[in-house]
């Protein structure tokens, strides 16, 4: 077994990843607020406060504060004392470094996931892909981008290396924000299909194929965010 994976790892030792660590009722607010950001209903130029978000989403100010703090930890929202919250605006170099770090992490994580594919995990991944596909069909771009990121975090959790999975958790939301800021409103249908191919390779335990597919998937994402891609933005 790869030395990155602990032989004594058990499913119970895996701690939640960023997309699922908030407790009710804030856990329902997180995807709604993140989707609003990814759909650019809230963007870097928006002027909002905890109170305005409280009224917008019909929740308590404490819930808003918890979710804003979470998004701040993920570098999606910038919080400064005596200033309004604002949505981050990652520049090209920050995006380039984030994608480079993701490639290093996900190449290892997807290969580790191939060593321990379990039926419940694979079912969860396929469920996310189906929700992503439906979001694309319904033109819910923010939800599609968020679910795409959640797919990568769930796949990472399968690998059994908690520190590396949490590291990826610090990169995926920032990538999602960069995707949302891409020019053009069309959302590619390619991402969920690429995710499905990844799941099939992991289910077969084919680490070589899974690694190749992950690299190709990240190549498409990098071309979209950093290159002069002709195709619309994909979800990462």
Domain annotation for the chain: domains and CATH numbers: 18-87 (1.10.10.10), 91-226 (1.20.120.530)
Q: DSSP state, 12? A: G
* Cα–Cα nearest to 102, from 188, 232, 228, 217: 217
Task: Answer yes or no: is pLDDT of 236 > 80.
Answer: no
pLDDT, the chain, mean: 85
pLDDT tens-place string over residues 24-74:
455 689 999 999 999 999 988 888 999 999 999 999 999 999 999 999 999
1: tokens are 């077994």
Query: Among 15-19, 163-167, 168-172, 199-203, where is mean pLDDT lowest?
Result: 15-19
pLDDT category at 8 given cuts 50, 70, 90 is: very low
Residue 91 class from Cβ within 10 Å (0-12 exposed, 13-18 middle, 19+ buried)?
exposed
Q: What is the pTM of this model?
A: 0.82
- Looking at residue 174, its pLDDT comes to 94
- Looking at residue 110, its pLDDT comes to 97
Task: Answer yes or no: is pLDDT of 159 > 90.
Answer: yes
- Looking at residue 182, its pLDDT comes to 80
Instruction: Answer whether 1's CB lies under 8 Å from 7's CB.
Output: yes
Share of the chain above pLDDT 70, in %: 82
């Amino acid at each position: 077994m790869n030395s990155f994976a602990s032989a004594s790892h058990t499913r119970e030792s895996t701690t939640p990843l960023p997309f699922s660590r908030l407790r009710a009722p804030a856990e329902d607010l997180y995807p709604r607020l993140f989707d609003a950001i990814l759909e650019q209903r809230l963007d870097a130029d928006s002027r909002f406060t905890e109170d305005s978000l409280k009224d917008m989403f019909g929740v308590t100010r404490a819930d808003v504060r918890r979710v804003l703090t979470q998004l701040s930890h993920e570098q999606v929202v910038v919080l400064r004392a005596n200033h309004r919250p604002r949505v981050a605006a990652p520049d090209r170099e920050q995006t380039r470094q984030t994608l480079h770090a993701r490639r290093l992490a996900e190449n290892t994580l997807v290969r580790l996931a191939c060593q321990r594919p379990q039926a419940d995990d694979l079912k969860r991944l396929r469920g996310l892909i189906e929700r992503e596909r439906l979001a694309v069909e319904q033109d819910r771009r923010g939800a599609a981008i968020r679910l795409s990121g959640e797919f990568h975090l769930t796949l990472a959790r399968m690998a059994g290396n908690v520190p590396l999975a949490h590291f990826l958790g610090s990169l995926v939301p920032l990538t999602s924000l960069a995707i949302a800021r891409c020019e053009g409103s069309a959302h590619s249908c390619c991402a969920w299909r690429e995710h499905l191919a990844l799941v099939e390779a992991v289910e077969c335990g084919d680490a070589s194929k899974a690694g190749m597919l992950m690299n190709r998937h990240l190549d498409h994402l990098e071309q979209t965010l950093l290159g002069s891609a002709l195709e619309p933005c994909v979800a990462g």
